[in-house]
Amino acid sequence: MRPNQNPPPPAGGFSSSSSASSSANRKGPRRRDLTLPLPQRDPALAVPLPLPPSTNAAPSTSNNSNHSNSNAPAPPKQVDITELDRVNRIGSGTGGTVYKVIHRPSTRLFALKVIYGNHEESVRRQICREIEILRDVDHPNVVKCHEMYDHNGEIQVLLEFMDGGSLEGNHISNESDLSDLARQILSGLNYLHRRHIVHRDIKPSNLLINSKKKVKIADFGVSRILDQTMDPCNSSVGTIAYMSPERINTDLNHGLYDGYAGDIWSLGVSILEFYLGRFPFAVGRQGDWASLMCAICMSQPPEAPPTASYEFRHFISCCLQRDPARRWTAQRLLSHPFITRGQQGQNHVAQNLRQLLPPPPPLTS
């Protein structure tokens, strides 16, 4: 059987006459003494090719790979809601209920938040879009949002589990501990604000801690992604006890609301509550709406007591300014002396420890 195309000429090439005679010879009997020289192979440069995996060897290879990487973090994988078992309820509020759940295949613990309400389709799509954006949030002081499910008409969010629970009800009178706590919260808040995310519900119950003393901001069920195409944050979402005055009474700031400055006010109220061991206003935080409104909007902002250090009193004052334009931003507060003195204190302790160490032995000749 003859090929459809002529084979390519050898590397040396032929002249036109040689090409014509060659095509003529192909019509005659095939010569049996034609040989082609094989290229010489240098054994030193030879590289063995991998053999295709056999079906029997595949499982053992996979097991060995998993065993060698057992200490490495598992790659991100979508968690199926059918693989989650509820352990117990760990919190509830106006926005929904949070359950401690376990992922059966990995035995890993998560927090599952079930958002209340039969939302309209447009509202449901908006919530889903915001949660999808929040899945990309990745910061050591922000609770990680892993998955979002629309299950049986309920919106459920799979979150990082914090084994230490919330900081609600904690009395932290030590300013060094409070400085480290505020620094961690501000670090996470500054990260969110730089990504144009306003939390809008900063309060002690939404500040979680784990066994490693890492503090993280939680509960983004009421967060909102700020964009130039979206309206200002003027909806009454969140706890009124920690809301800024201009958010409760829109007449105080000509109807304008800055969500970033609102988060700073809520942070200041929370930090002062930790220090005092009580809600810093003259009324209880569970009081009626009218009493809270009068206390927050019509009285002077609360202050740290005179027994506190000047740095702490000034820090609280920078957060609880009635005029939102005068409140410091999260980024600026990270450089406040009350926040930075904790790091300076660590360096000072390290210097003192070095002074207590014995002198190094003399060099021997």
155, 119 Cβ separation under 8 angstroms:
yes
Band (pLDDT 50/70/90 cuts) for residue 344 is low
Q: Tell me the pLDDT tens digit for each residue of 314-332.
A: 999 999 999 999 999 999 9
Contact 224, 259 (CB under 8 A): yes
Statement: the pTM of the whole predicted model exceeds 0.85:
no
Q: Spot the catalytic one: 42, 85, 163, 201.
A: 201
CA distance 218 to 90: 13
Q: Which residues have CB under 8 Å from 62's CB, separation 6+?
A: none
Going by C-alpha positions, the residue among 63, 259, 286, 321 that lies closest to residue 168 is 286
In the block, residue with structure tokens 């706590």: 181
Q: Is 201 a catalytic residue?
A: yes
Q: Where are the domains of the chain?
A: 80-161, 165-348
The CA distance from 51 to 45, in Å, is: 19
Checking if the pLDDT of 233 tops 60, the result is no
Asked whether residue 113 is marked as a ligand-binding residue, the answer is yes
- Summarised one tens digit per residue, pLDDT across range 27-46 is 556 656 555 555 554 544 44
Write the class of the CATH domain 165-348.
mainly alpha
pLDDT at 151: 76
pLDDT at 187: 98
Distance between CA 233 and CA 256 in Å, rounded? 9
User: Which candidate, 227, 140, 145, places its Cα nearest to that of 190?
Assistant: 140
Average pLDDT of the chain?
Answer: 76
Do the domains 165-348 and 80-161 match in fold?
A: no
Give CATH for domain 80-161. Answer: 3.30.200.20
CA angle 19, 21, 23 (to 5 degrees): 70
